[in-house]
Amino acid sequence: MGGPGRTMLGRRISANVWSTTSPVAIAILVVAGCGSAAASATPSTGAGGPRSPSAAPTASVPAAGLASPSIAPVSASPDALALLRQPIDQLGRRLVATIDVGGVPEWVGAGTDAIWVTNRALGSVQRIDPTRNAIVGSVPVAEPCNGFAFGFGSVWTASCHDQALVRIDPTRNVLAKTIPTAIAADGEGQVAAAFGSIWIAGGDGRLRRLDPASNRFVASLAVPMGADAIVAGRDSIWITDPEGNDVLRIDPAANKVSWRVKVGPHPQFIAADSTAVWVLNQDDGTVSRIDAAAGSVRSIGADSKGRDVGCIGAGLGSSWVTVPDLPLTRVDATSMSVTEQFSGPGGDCLTTGFGSVWLVNNALGTVSRIAPPK
C-alpha cells in the first residue's frame, strides 16, 4: 500500500454517482492485505469480456521441512488484459457509496460490525458503519499505520509515531492499550490475530507473538530482514519475504518456519481466504495463489506492478488488487483468471466485508464501497 504521496490525483464524487464524462477516483479495501474476509462459499463469476490466459501451476511444497520449488513461467498477455480493461466509471450501480473521511486514509480492514480506516493526517483510526455507510467513531492514534487485525474483543493496529502496537476497544471506541514494539515506518500489513495470539512483524528480522490476555510478548522467532506483511490463513501464519521472493509459513504450535514457498519477484502484499493465500508480486505485477493445504502455487499476470504501492484482498470468491492507474482488478478464485480490470485514477488499499469491496483513495480522502459483479 502506498504512502500519502504515492496515489493518483482526481476529484471527489458523491455516493452512488459515477461521472459519465470523465474518470472518477475511487478507493476500496483488504486483507488485509490488509486484512480480508473469507471467501464466499459460491465463487463469484466473471463480468464478461475476454478472459486472461490460464494460470501456470507450480510444484507442490512438501508438508514437512523447508522447500523452494521452481516457478513455472507465468502465462501473461498484456494484449488480453488491455481488451478486458475498462474505465473505472463503468462500475456504474456497483458503486454503493463513497464516504468522505477527510485527511489521508491509508489502511482499511473489516471487523465484526464495522469497517476501520487508518488516517495519519488526522491522527486517528476511523470507524465506518456499513449499515449507514458513514463514519460513526474516531479513535485518536499517533500516526496509525501498517494494517489491522481483529480478535479477542479488540481492534489491533500500529502507531508509527510511538513504535507501538495499538489495542482499540470497539465497544467504546477508545484506545485501550499502547504496547511498545518494533514497527517499520514503511512496513506493510504487520499485524495478525489468530491462534490465541497477536502477531507483529517489525521488518527487523523478528516475528513477535503477544498474549492478548496479558498484553505481554511470549515468543519471538527469526524471519528474513524486511519480512513484514503477514496474514493468518487456515492453520498457519504466512509472511512475505520480498528479497527472497518467498512466502514463509509459520507453524504457530511450534513457533517456527515450516514451509518456504517460492512465488514471484518481490512479493509484498498478502491476503487469505478459507483455502488459499494470495500474494501480489510487485516487480512483475503477477498474483500468486498458494493452496494453504498443499502448498502448491499458481500465478497469473495482472499487470499490477509497482514498488511500495498497491494492496491485495481476498473474499467474495475472488482476489482483489489495487495499484496506481489500475484501481481495481478481480482474479476469480476458481478459474484463476483475471475476469475484470478497471483503469483510471483511484486506489490505494482494499478489503472485503459485508458483501462488498472497500477501496481507499488517500489522495482524495475517500473510502468507496463497491458491490461484486452479479
Pinpoint the alpha helices (H) of 56-145: 78-84
d(CA 312, CA 271): 6
Q: Please tell me whether residue 318 adopts helix, strand or coil conformation.
A: strand
Structural contact between residues 31 and 272, judged by C-beta atoms closer than 8 angstroms: yes
Strands 191-194 and 337-343: unpaired
d(CA 350, CA 331): 14
Q: Which residues of 170-195 are buried (b: 16+ CB within 10 A; e: fewer)?
A: beebebbeebebbbbeebbbbbbbbb
d(CA 32, CA 279): 11
Quick one: cell of 156? 489491533
| pLDDT score of 40 | 31
* Across 161-177, average pLDDT: 96
Nearest to 346 by CA among 10, 2, 47: 10
Find residue 31's DSSP bridge partners. Answer: none
Quickly state the pLDDT bin for 360 (edges 50, 70, 90).
very high
| pLDDT score of 307 | 85
Quickly state the pLDDT bin for 8 (edges 50, 70, 90).
very low
* Across 343-360, average pLDDT: 92
User: Residue 261 pLDDT > 50, yes or no?
Assistant: yes
d(CA 258, CA 271): 19
Q: What proportions of the chain, in percent to the nearest 5, are helix, strand and coil?
A: 5, 45, 50
Strands 337-343 and 86-87: parallel
Quick one: cell of 359? 477501496
pLDDT tens figures, 118-136: 999 999 999 999 999 999 9
* Across 270-283, average pLDDT: 96
| pLDDT score of 347 | 76
Least confident range of 40-49, 145-154, 169-178, 345-354? 40-49
Nearest to 298 by CA among 309, 287, 312, 282: 287
Strands 276-281 and 267-272: antiparallel
Quickly state the pLDDT bin for 77 (edges 50, 70, 90).
low
- What DSSP designation does 32 have? B
Residue 47 has, within 13 A of its CA and on its CB side, a CA count of 18
User: Residue 199 pLDDT > 50, yes or no?
Assistant: yes
| pLDDT score of 271 | 97
Phi/psi at 94 (5° precision): -70, -20
Structural contact between residues 108 and 351, judged by C-beta atoms closer than 8 angstroms: yes
For residues 22 and 160, the model is more confident at 160
d(CA 17, CA 228): 37
pLDDT tens figures, 25-73: 322 223 334 433 333 332 232 322 333 333 444 433 443 344 444 344 3
Rg of the chain taking only CA atoms, in angstroms: 19
| pLDDT score of 169 | 98
User: Residue 79 pLDDT > 90, yes or no?
Assistant: no
